[in-house]
Structure 1
Amino acid sequence: MAGAEPITARSPQHVVELLDRAFNECDVDRVLGFYDEKAVVVSQPGRTISGRGPLREFFEFAVKSGASAKQLKTHVIEADGVALFLSRWTLEYEESGAKRSVRELVATTVFRRQQDGEWKVLIDNSFGPLVLDA
C-alpha cells in the first residue's frame, strides 16, 4: 500500500479515515503522524495525556489489545483553520477470556490546519459527553 495514500490529509474527514485505517492496521507511527505536536487526548473520562511519549504508549497499548475503530456517522463544523469533528463510532475490543465486545461512543475532536494545509488532531475526546460524568 506504500505510495497509495497521500502524504497529507487535506480535510478533517480525510484525517479520520486515514487515522482509523492506521489504527486498525496497528501502525502507531502513522497514527501519531495525524496528531499535532501539542495534542491532548482523553485516555478515559477524567484523564488526559499529551506529549509524544505518553501518546505513543497509549496507542501502543490500544493496538496491542486488538481494538479497532469504525465511524458510523460524522459531522464537521469548520472556522478559520479550526474544525470541530463530531462522530458516532464503534470500538471493538477484546475482553477477558478472548470475548469480543463492541461499544458505541460519541466523539468530539478538534482539528487544527497546519501551515502546509494539512489537518491534524489537536484535542481528541473519543468519549464525548461521558467526560461530564468523570
Structure 2
Amino acid sequence: MKDHPIKQEIFAADKAINNKDFDNIPNFYTEDAALVVKPGLVASGRTAIAEAHKEISKYFNGSLEVSQGDVQIIEAGNVALVHAKTFVKSQLKLDSKFSTERESVYVYVRDSDGKWRCAIDNSYGAELLQAK
C-alpha cells in the first residue's frame, strides 16, 4: 500500500498546498469535487476549491503545512474510500480554533485515463458530526 497511486496523489497534493501552487491544486480534484473548508462550509467544483485553498492559506498567514500519517485505502471498482491521519501546522497562526491533528476522510474516483482524483475532501472526518 506504500506506493498506492492514491497515496502518491495525496502526498503530491499536500506538496502543492504547502508550496501554495494554487494553479495546480485543482488538478488533484474531479470537476465536481467537494472540499470541506471548515465545518459548515463546503466549496464545490475546481474553481471554488482553488479559491478556497487561497483563503485557507491566508487564514494561516501563508504558513500552512499539511502532511499525512497513516493512510488506509479501501477500493471498490473505480471508487476508493480513504482514511488518513492528517497533520495541519502553521508557524504564523498558532491560535486556530481548528484541530491540528485530524482523522480525515476522502473519496477518490478513478478517471477513464486511470488517474485517481479526489471527489470529496473532508479533512475533518467525523468531527463534522460534533460541529454545530
String of CA shifts for 1:48-82, please: whole Å, max 9, x gaps: 11023321211112234321101111110011110
**Are the aligned partners of 2:85 and 2:101 in contact in 1 as well (CA < 8 Å)?**
yes
1:40-55 matched pairs, under 5 angstroms: 40-55=34-49
Q: Contact (CA 8 Å) 1:45, 1:133: kept in 2 or not? A: no
- CA distance in 2 between counterparts of 1:14 and 1:85 reads 13
* Identical columns (%): 31
**Closer, same or farther: CA 100–45 of 1 in aligned 2, 3 Å:** closer
Give how far 1:46 is off: 2.3
Residues 11-56 of structure 1 show CA distances to partners (whole Å, capped at 9, x for unaligned) of 2111101101111111011111100001011111122110233212
Structure 2: which 5+ runs fail to align? none
> Matches of 1:100 and 1:32 in 2, distance apart?
28
Number of residue pairs the alignment of both structures matches? 122
List gaps (5 residues or longer) in structure 1.
1-9
Question: How high is the TM-score relative to the length of structure 1?
Answer: 0.83
* TM-score normalised over the length of structure 2: 0.84
When the two chains are superposed, the root-mean-square deviation of aligned CA atoms in Å is 1.8
Alignment pair present for 1:37 and 2:31: yes
Pick the aligned partner of 1:109 from 106, 111, 114. Answer: 106
